Amino acid sequence: MQIKTLAKIFAVATAAAAFASGAAHAQSTQFINVLTGGTSGVYYPLGTALSTIYNKTIPGAKATVQSTKASAENLNLLEAGRGEIALALGDAVANAWAGNAEGGFPKKLTKLRAISATYSNYIQIVANADAGIKTVADLKGKRISVGAPKSGTELNARAVLKAAGLTYKDFDKVEYLPFGESVELMKNRQLDVTLQSAGLGVASIRDLATSIKIVVVPIPADVVKKVGDPAYMAAMIPAGTYEGQSADVATAAISNILVSHSGVSNELAYQMTKQMYGNLDTMVAAHKAATAIKLQNAANVPIPLHPGAEKFYKEAGVLK
């Protein structure tokens, strides 16, 4: 009887220990949903690299990647607590924080917190060489895709075209499509031009350039200045970035920001920041745009830093 009683006690104790262990494991799991963009853009491979880094380096991390319509959707998802970290264009982040309705944010997104400035997006206007487009003025009357509705790319398109004296009414046709779909229509001669706001060497335009002869249309510095937003900087797309592009092309660039929200713990935000900077080689291997991610530029953001990220930058000597 005593032996049976001891066995029963042992079994109960073992089960309790297993339950406690399982509960502790559940409590220690860090769910990290990385919000990105379309799979043919730059956000997606960089987000995938981040999830790989976090799964390897943050104890208990369970990082996943979500493909989205990019900037605006990412920021709204973060505000709703449906992601832990996301990439978004700097102007979209500023508009979200200010509650700029014209920029796609009728209400202020007050929970957003910055993790790091990253690389710049280049506004790349790419035309079928057969369409006879050489300048921004030549776009009038053509068929164009301006990115997914209310995406960072589409907001960039509105700003740049307005600065150049154009509205969507000036085009024969306007499509609101992600990068990959825009390229497919270009290949099929159903569009004349695509505007894509992305890192240099974006896969979608590289794919297009190997399928048809393209022209990268310049955005002159005076047009960039007329945008009237300090987030927009005059820049160059270096010669040879795409097949058939034999000269540097003037354009506009905008910084991309890694963003989190106030509901993410300081410790997790600290680890997400620290581990990214400790494993930048993984980011660069995913896409060369990541070569522009520099610790010294990390705190140049349009919204408050997450306290966890701020802690890391103070340790790294970037902030006092």
CA distance 68 to 37: 4
Task: Please report the pLDDT score of residue 13 as a whole number.
Answer: 47
Q: Answer yes or no: is 58 within a domain.
A: yes
Q: Answer yes or no: is 207 within a domain.
A: yes
**Is 150 in the same domain as 137?**
yes
Q: Answer yes or no: is 5 within a domain.
A: no
Task: Please report the pLDDT score of residue 314 as a whole number.
Answer: 98
Backbone φ and ψ for 265, nearest 5 degrees, come out as -65, 155
CA distance 226 to 23: 58
User: Do the Cβ atoms of 76 and 108 come closer than 8 Å?
Assistant: no
**Is 106 in the same domain as 125?**
no
Whole-number Cα distances in Å, 268 to 78, 129, 209, 247, 305: 15, 48, 41, 44, 14
CA distance 211 to 177: 19
Q: Which residues of the chain have pLDDT under 50?
A: 1, 6, 9-10, 12-26
CA distance 301 to 116: 7
Angle at 287 between CA 286 and CA 293, to 5 degrees: 105
**Is 158 in the same domain as 243?**
yes
CA distance 311 to 113: 13
Range of the domain at 187: 121-254
What lies within 8 Å, CB to CB, of 21 at 6+ separation is none
**Is 127 in the same domain as 104?**
no
CATH number, domain with residue 289: 3.40.190.10
**Is 125 in the same domain as 114?**
no
**Is 249 in the same domain as 263?**
no
Task: Please report the pLDDT score of residue 24 as a whole number.
Answer: 44
Place of tokens 């520099």: 294
Which residues in 132-167 are b (16+ Cβ under 10 Å) and which e? Answer: ebeebebbeebbbbbbbebbbbbbbbbbbbebbebe
Q: Answer yes or no: is 23 within a domain.
A: no
Q: Answer yes or no: is 132 within a domain.
A: yes
Beta-strand ranges (E) seen in the chain are 30-35, 61-66, 85-89, 112-128, 143-145, 173-175, 193-198, 214-217, 233-237, 249-261
CA distance 301 to 311: 16
Task: Please report the pLDDT score of residue 103 as a whole number.
Answer: 81
**Is 161 in the same domain as 46?**
no
Q: Answer yes or no: is 193 within a domain.
A: yes
CA distance 99 to 88: 16
**Is 206 in the same domain as 297?**
no
Task: Please report the pLDDT score of residue 22 as a whole number.
Answer: 47
User: Do the Cβ atoms of 37 and 25 come closer than 8 Å?
Assistant: no
Structure tokens at 157: 């398109």
Task: Please report the pLDDT score of residue 229 as a whole number.
Answer: 87
Question: Among 213, 230, 254, which residue terminates a domain?
Answer: 254
User: Do the Cβ atoms of 307 and 315 come closer than 8 Å?
Assistant: no
Number of domains forming the structure of the chain:
2
Question: Among 217, 232, 254, which residue terminates a domain?
Answer: 254
Nearest to 136 by CA among 211, 227, 200, 202: 227
Question: Among 236, 254, 272, which residue terminates a domain?
Answer: 254
Structure tokens at 17: 């220990």
**Is 230 in the same domain as 267?**
no
**Is 128 in the same domain as 241?**
yes
**Is 198 in the same domain as 286?**
no
Task: Give per-residue pLDDT as tens, 131-173.
Answer: 999 999 999 999 999 998 878 899 999 999 999 999 999 999 9
SS (H, E, C) 40-96: CCCHHHHHHHHHHHHHHHCCCEEEEEECCCCHHHHHHHHHCCCCCEEEEEHHHHHHH
Q: Answer yes or no: is 14 within a domain.
A: no
